[in-house]
Amino acid sequence: MRVLVIGQGGREHALCWKLKQSPLVKEVYAAPGNAGIATVADCVPIGVADIIELADFAEKLKIDLTVVGPELPLTLGIVDEFQKRGLTIFGPSRLAAELEGSKVFSKEFMRKYNIPTAESTVCQSVDEAHAALKKIKYPSVIKIDGLAAGKGVVVVNSKKEADEYLQVVFEEKRFGNAATRILIEEFLEGEEVSFMVITDGKRSVPLAPAKDYKKAFDGDTGPNTGGMGSHSPAVVLNGETAGEVMKKIILPTIAGMEAEGRTYSGVLYAGLMLTRQGPKVLEYNCRFGDPETQVQMLRLEDDLADILLKVARGNLGDTKLNWKKEAAACVVMAVDGYPAEFPKGQEVVIDPIDDDTVVVFHAGVIRKGPKLVNMAGRVVNVCARAGSLSDALAKVYQAVPKVRFEGAWYRRDIGYRALEHLAATATSR
């Protein structure tokens, strides 16, 4: 069959890479794709927000399955447009994708269906925000309502920091219409983990748990990013807690969306904080994680195309997912300045890596003549799998010097707290 993947990042490279391995798949297309994706798929120059043009392309080429990577086209209603034309597409409808598209909607939804989450207040002005901040202690969390590519959440440790960020939101209007409403939220303490399921709206099957590292710098410091690394297994999430997440968060979410007339199909991603009171939802995402997908695809044993086609057709049934017993790790290499202003057009050189368990997924790389250059802040994802997490991380960090570009930087502590957790657990036995 012919498959179309929409997107241009590391997540989409990983999806194309895995779909290409399916015996069911004859051709893979990507829109718009990137230089790495072009090695496993035919790239077409259509933007992710050009929904009508994407649907026209899928219709013309008789695409059998479309897989949506980023959140923007989902919130714009790409699934609705494709389904209206009788085209098979994997992902939630526009109404269902509002779980990610509006943090205010998702927070009100969680309150209505008693899904554990942080206490918060909706604000539409600086004055309302100041009033809300007086009611909770610092550190506090400020979240803008709409999409911001993973950069619309900030933890403020003082009134001064809060004032500075509120100035950016309401006076400078840096986030535009996405920030006409914000949430002032209590700060949750604990370990953060990504919990994802695939669902056809009736049945849900968990993906391998993964841990994402959102802070820019070592020690989980600095601003939030789209993600600076990941690993799977998540390590910090045991089987008992995973069962609690399914029972108290995932299943009530799927049932609640059905009750709201927003039947949910696709990937449901719950970003969780494992607190002393139990797991609580930080946010929902309505698509595969990035960079969590990269490590999950390295571990998935099953045919991804077959699984996604079943979900898109509403026929997940008793499908079970099988995962390699190995661990997988990913380190994101970014360009200096990210997640704020950063240079584009830096030449990217990737030396050959003689190890098929190490994969470099292109996140923000395009071809310009004979050269590869960056067009995004997150440039490449260096990933590997091995028998243990420590070995997978060692492979990744040994391979990182194989990628070179001016201003390259990356976190050097991805997974180390997980390794400490494993060591502590082993010692206590």
Rounded to 5 degrees, φ, ψ at 183 are -115, 135
What DSSP string runs through 339-369?
Answer: TSS-----B-EE-----TTEEEEESSEEEET
Contact between 384 and 317 (Cβ < 8 Å): no
Q: Give 32: exposed, middle or buried? Use CB within 10 Å, 0-12, 13-18, 19+.
A: middle
Pairing of strands 27-32, 42-43: parallel
pLDDT surpasses 90 at 425: no
Q: Going along 57-189, which residue ranges are E strands?
A: 65-68, 89-90, 120-123, 140-144, 153-156, 182-186
Range(s) within the chain of domains with CATH label 3.30.470.20 = 189-312
Q: Give tens-digit pLDDT for 256-290.
A: 999 999 999 999 999 999 999 999 999 999 999 99
Phi, psi of 53 (to 5 degrees): -65, -40
Q: Which helix (H) or strand (E) holds 396?
A: helix 389-399
Average pLDDT for residues 21-31, to the nearest whole number?
A: 98
Range(s) within the chain of domains with CATH label 3.40.50.20: 2-93
Q: Among residues of the chain, what percentage have pLDDT more than 70?
A: 99
Asked whether residue 110 carries a pLDDT value surpassing 70, the answer given is yes
Of 113, 429, 50, 404, the C-alpha closest to 250 is 113
Concatenate the DSSP letters of all residues of 26-91 into one string. SEEEEEE--TTGGGTSEE----TT-HHHHHHHHHHTT-SEEEE-SHHHHHTTHHHHHHHTT--EES
Task: Give me the mean pLDDT over the 374-389 stretch.
Answer: 97
Give the model's pLDDT for residue 377. 96
Please report where in the chains the tokens 């012919």 appear, as a residue.
2
The confidence score (pLDDT) of residue 428 equals: 65
Q: How far is CA 151 from CA 38, 311, 348, in A?
A: 28, 30, 25
CATH C-level class of 327-428 = alpha beta
End-to-end CA distance of the chain: 50
**pLDDT tens-digit map of 131-151:** 999 888 899 999 999 987 666
Judged against a pLDDT cut of 80, whether residue 398 lies above it is answered with yes
DSSP state of 187: P
Query: Do 99 and 106 meet the contact criterion of CB atoms below 8 Å apart?
Result: yes
Tens-digit pLDDT profile for residues 74-102: 999 999 999 999 999 999 999 999 999 99
Task: Work out the burial of residue 127: count CB atoms within 10 Å of its CB; fewer than 13 is exposed, 13-18 middle, 19 or more buried.
Answer: exposed
Do the Cβ atoms of 94 and 79 come closer than 8 Å? yes
Percent of the chain with pLDDT over 90: 87
Cβ atoms of residues 383 and 358 within 8 Å: yes
pLDDT of residue 150: 65
Supply the pLDDT for residue 148: 78
Domain 189-312 architecture: 2-Layer Sandwich (3.30)
pTM: 0.94
* Positive or negative torsion for Cα 283, 198, 10, 218: positive
Q: What CATH architecture is 119-186?
A: 2-Layer Sandwich (3.30)
At 77, give phi and psi (nearest 5°): 95, 30
- CA distance linking residue 40 with residue 304, whole number of Å: 15
Per-residue model confidence (pLDDT) at position 152: 81
**Rounded-to-integer distance, Cα 184 and Cα 130, Å:** 9
For residues 145-174, one letter each, b for 16 or more C-beta atoms within 10 angstroms of the residue's C-beta and e for the rest, the string is: bbbbebbbbbbbeeeebbeebbeebbeeeb
Cα 230 from chain centroid (whole Å): 10
Write down the pLDDT at residue 115.
98
| Mean pLDDT, the chain, integer | 95
Q: In CATH terms, is domain 2-93 a member of 3.40.50.20?
A: yes
